[in-house]
Amino acid sequence: MRGNLKNRKTNNNPIGIFDSGFGGLTVMSEINKILPLESLIYFGDTAHIPYGTKSKGAVIKFSKEIASFLVKNRVKLIVIACNTASAFALSILKKTFDVPIIGVIESGAEASVLASKSKNIGVIGTEGTVNSNSYINEINKISKSNVYQQACPLFVPLVEEGWISGKIADAVVKKYMAPLLKKHIDTLVLGCTHYPLLKGILRKNVDKKIVFIDSAKTVAREVVKVLRQKSLLANKNGNKFLKFYVSDNPEKFQKIGNNFFWRKINNVRKVDMEQR
């Protein structure tokens, strides 16, 4: 997917954002907030969710297919709005495609180091992200810290079902948080883009002083930085649009999206895997 870069290096071309499901919408929403002129194309790989329990090879394959779809749609930058795909596929996608590509892990790691005074940092994520040790590596590149990880495989299905509060969510949060809280962490990285939707219930269950690092916010700031550096920020002459694509079940995506996001999500289009 090299070549034709000039066609995509237009300020008013869209930014492509992808995740396995709804989670990346937390990132899209932050980007939309701080960059209101940018057109955004979102891809939720709902046919393959969850990524967090899949093999590295599978996540790389899905990520490559989605990135080619986005590049065909003339995006000027791609945001991997998924920690699992960032952990497994960022370096490969960067080698394969000639648009700038941003993952969520580096900026989250940086923000956690800045926030932590005790250097006891907790990271919650999918099994894939935790087993990749990407946060431990990125955090320790910046500053030697004690990083305590906890995989939370039930969080993504809770969010995808819209169960972000109530007794069941509460019990699951308590169970996953208990080992981390024993480590006296002062900072907690929400290392999965689905988790900002559980912020309310997480906050209820952990010490108020623990700082939450929301990868959605940190990556949105990184997008601004990269677009500015490359002189690719959109201008007022563009015809701003937001588009949503999924690989399965657009109706469910629309329904849940409408409950949780900052705008009505409509016109969700299904993309056939074979035709991507």
**Contact stretch for ligand DGL (CB under 6 A) within 136-144, 188-196, 203-211, 264-272:** 188-196
From residue 133 to residue 172, what is the string marking binding to ligand DGL with x (rule CB under 6 A)?
Answer: -----------------------x----------------
Structure tokens at 139: 């955090």
User: What is the C-alpha separation between 23 and 82, in angstroms, rounded?
Assistant: 7
Supply the minimum distance, in Å, between the C-beta of residue 117 and ligand DGL: 26
User: What is the C-alpha separation between 19 and 89, in angstroms, rounded?
Assistant: 12
Q: Based on the shown chain and the rule CB under 6 A, indicate whether residue 82 belongs to the binding site for ligand DGL.
A: yes
User: What is the C-alpha separation between 173 and 168, in angstroms, rounded?
Assistant: 9
Contacts of 171 by beta carbon, 8 Å cutoff, 6+ apart: none
Q: Which is closer to ligand DGL, CB of 232 or CB of 271?
A: 271
From residue 12 to residue 51, what is the string marking binding to ligand DGL with x (rule CB under 6 A)?
Answer: -------xx--x-------------------------xxx
Q: Which is closer to ligand DGL, CB of 63 or CB of 84?
A: 84
From residue 87 to residue 126, what is the string marking binding to ligand DGL with x (rule CB under 6 A)?
Answer: ---------------------------------------x
User: What is the C-alpha separation between 49 and 194, in angstroms, rounded?
Assistant: 12
Say how many CA atoms lie within 13 Å of 164 toward its Cβ.
16
Residue 82 a catalytic site member = yes
Q: Based on the shown chain and the rule CB under 6 A, indicate whether residue 193 belongs to the binding site for ligand DGL.
A: yes
Residues in the chain, overall count: 276
Residue 152 a catalytic site member = no
- Backbone region of residue 162 per phi and psi (left: phi > 0; alpha: psi in -120 to 50; beta: other values): left
Say how many CA atoms lie within 13 Å of 5 toward its Cβ.
9
| Contacts with ligand DGL, residue ranges (CB under 6 A) | 19-20, 23, 49-52, 82-84, 126, 129, 156, 192-194
